[in-house]
Each structure stands twice: as structure tokens, then as C-alpha cells.
Structure 1
Amino acid sequence: MKKVKVGFVTVSDRASRGEYEDLGGPAMREWIGNALVSEWDGVSRIIEDEQSLIESNLIELADSEQCDLILTTGGTGPAKRDVTPEATEAVCDKILDGFAEQMRAVSLQYVPTAILSRQIAGTRGACLIINLPGKPSAIGECLEAVFPAVPYCIDLIEGAYMETDEAFVKAFRPKHAKKPGA
């Protein structure tokens, strides 16, 4: 069975210059480490808030690195430099609105400013790309809300088969969905 590959992209001018410690990237990596029982490798990037740079990194991670899942953190607010959703939409074949709707609904339980979040999710080939908030606690809350659908989504786009630690997060697959080789 193919090993799962996950890309982690922190979008932050300050973190990319070393002026600010990247907390989002490690938070995403730790969450995935707790969630997956499948063997997996991670590829991490810290880049500036530049749309062309975000696009090129997403394309490279999806196409060249062959990531099954790419998680981004940062750049999803209303500030002029926040362009992660635009970059994500530009490189995706399909946008999956339900991810964004669910993440905002969950985040609104914690902070009223969640309505300012513009994070999206979509597919590029056999890769699912999900924009997450920048705050580590919000990253966990959003992943907990949407991750039950992630493994089956990746099945549908013909990415690697993902198994989760059901004590941490339970993936949902329809009864008719079969494990590869079964």
C-alpha cells in the first residue's frame, strides 16, 4: 500500500523571515501524527504571503511531491496580504465548499471573528488541499471537525489509503467503500 504523504505549508511573512516562530506548522504536523495510524511522510514549507509563491508551492507539493493531503495555515483573513484562499482556488480542479462551511461553523463556537475567515478546500489531481486558520488551537478544532471526511475524499480522488486512530478521530467511509487489496 502506498505511504501517505502530507504537505504542511505555513504562509507568513514574519515566520518566513525568522522574525516569528512558526507555531501553525508544528501544530498541523502534531495533529496529523495523532490522527493517522497509516505510515506517512511529511513535507514542510514556510513561505511568504505572496500568491504566486503559494500557488507554486501548492503545485509542487501536489504534482511533484505527490502529496495526498496539503494543509496550509495562515493567510486566510481579510487583510490585504491574506491571499491563501485565492492561491488555493487558482490551483484546484474542484472547490469543496462543505469544508469551509464546517470549519467556520465550528470556529464560531469559540470566536465571533470566525466569520472573517476565508479558508477553503479543494482538490488538485489526487491531492486534497485544506486551508486552516493560523492559531494552533483553531487548527485542531477545524481538523477535528472536517477530518472524518478526509480519508474517504482522498479515496474518491484516488490518493493513498488513510487509516485513522479511532480513539483520536474516526474517519467515515460508506459501508460499500473497500480498502485497497481487500
Structure 2
Amino acid sequence: MAWKTAILTASDKGARGEREDTSAQVIRELVEEELGGEIVEYRIVPDEEDEIIAALIELTDYFQADLVLTTGGTDLAIRDVTPEATRRVIEREVPGMPEAMRAAVLPKNRTAMLFRGIAGIRGRTLIVNLPGNPKGVHEHLAAIMDQLPEALLMVTGQFRQ
């Protein structure tokens, strides 16, 4: 099954065209190669909570993505508000995914304890926050990749027991 996937990058510099979005490229490669997913939309917005919220709502409700992967805005800086925006959009949290990401990455990279990303469900869409750098994206997404198909089957209502 080709999971409809959307990528949302939260980055002030990226939104102004001052930085190449290499983290989104890593997400695209992993989704297409490891998950067999199809990228249906890609957005880059500044680190503004209202803009992140609006983009998440559009990606879930209008584009009806099965999976929305965000990158950026998950650290401790004052402008890092992606988890807060995500929390305002989701209906149910999926705490095990970010817990698994942190647990997998922490032994290799102690800064993983500073990652504040969350995961949750809006309608029939799974939203997962990822860090803002390519290495962090790869490590965190790889930590949950094996469980994404089953999670997506459940979230989209296709899971049969």
C-alpha cells in the first residue's frame, strides 16, 4: 500500500529561502524507499504556531494524508513550537512513538533527551514530529519505521484483527 504522506517543515530560515531543506529530503527518501509511501504534499512554514497549525489542518483535512511528518521546531529554543502546534491539532496522542525514538537515539546521541516532539492522531491521519536536522530525522524516523505500517493500518481503519 502506498501511504499518502505529507511533509511539513517548520523553519524561519527555510521559509525565507535562506536554507536548503535537507531534512525534508531525508524524510522523502525514507518514506519512499522504506515505507513505500507517496509524498502528496510538501510545505515549509516559519516557526509560527498559527502557521504550523493551519498547515497541519490543511494536510490532514484537505489533502487527507495518512501520515504527516514534521521536521523542525522541536528543540528548546523559544521559537521551537511545533509540539505545541501539533498538540492543538491532534485528537489523541500516541506517546509511545516519541518515547521509542528518544530511547533508540539517546545511547548514540545524548542531545536526544532535548527532543520535544510528539505524535498523535487527527481524524484518520497520524502526525509525527521529527527533529530539524538530517541526521536527527534519519535516526528518529528509523527508530519507528518498522511500526509505521501497522500504526497506519489502525489509524486509517484498515486494521483487521
Question: What number of residue pairs does the alignment pair up?
Answer: 161
Displaced runs of 4 or more, over 6 A? none
- Unaligned runs of at least 5 residues, structure 1: 162-172
Residues of 1 paired with 2:135 and 2:110: CA distance?
15
TM-score, structure 2 normalization: 0.93
TM-score, structure 1 normalization: 0.83
Question: Which residue is equivalent to 1:44?
Answer: 42
Cα deviation per residue 1:100-143 (whole Å; 9 max; x = unaligned)? 11111122122211111101100001000000011212211111
**Matched residue SS, 1:9:** strand
Residues of 1 paired with 2:76 and 2:90: CA distance?
21
Q: Give the CA deviation at 1:4.
A: 2.6
**Matched residue SS, 2:120:** strand
Instruction: Report the AA paired with residue 63 of structure 1.
Output: D
Residues of 2 paired with 1:11 and 1:71: CA distance?
11
Residues of 1 paired with 2:17 and 2:156: CA distance?
37
Residues of 1 paired with 2:92 and 2:48: CA distance?
22
Question: Which residue is equivalent to 2:103?
Answer: 105
Residues of 2 paired with 1:41 and 1:55: CA distance?
20
Q: Give the CA deviation at 1:36.
A: 2.9
Residues of 1 paired with 2:36 and 2:76: CA distance?
36
Q: Give the CA deviation at 1:41.
A: 3.6
Please point out which of 67, 70, 82 is paired with 2:68. Answer: 70
Instruction: Report the AA paired with residue 42 of structure 1.
Output: V
Residues of 1 paired with 2:127 and 2:110: CA distance?
25
**Aligned-residue identity in percent:** 43
Cα deviation per residue 1:14-40 (whole Å; 9 max; x = unaligned)? 0110111111111100111111336x2
Please, which moves more after superposition, 23-32 or 144-153?
144-153
Question: Which residue is equivalent to 1:32?
Answer: 31
Say if 2:113 is the partner of 1:115.
yes
**Matched residue SS, 1:90:** helix
Question: Which residue is equivalent to 1:168?
Answer: none
Structure 1 or 2: more helix by fraction: 2
Cα deviation per residue 1:46-91 (whole Å; 9 max; x = unaligned)? 1100001000100000000000000000000011000000000100
Instruction: Report the AA paired with residue 36 of structure 1.
Output: L
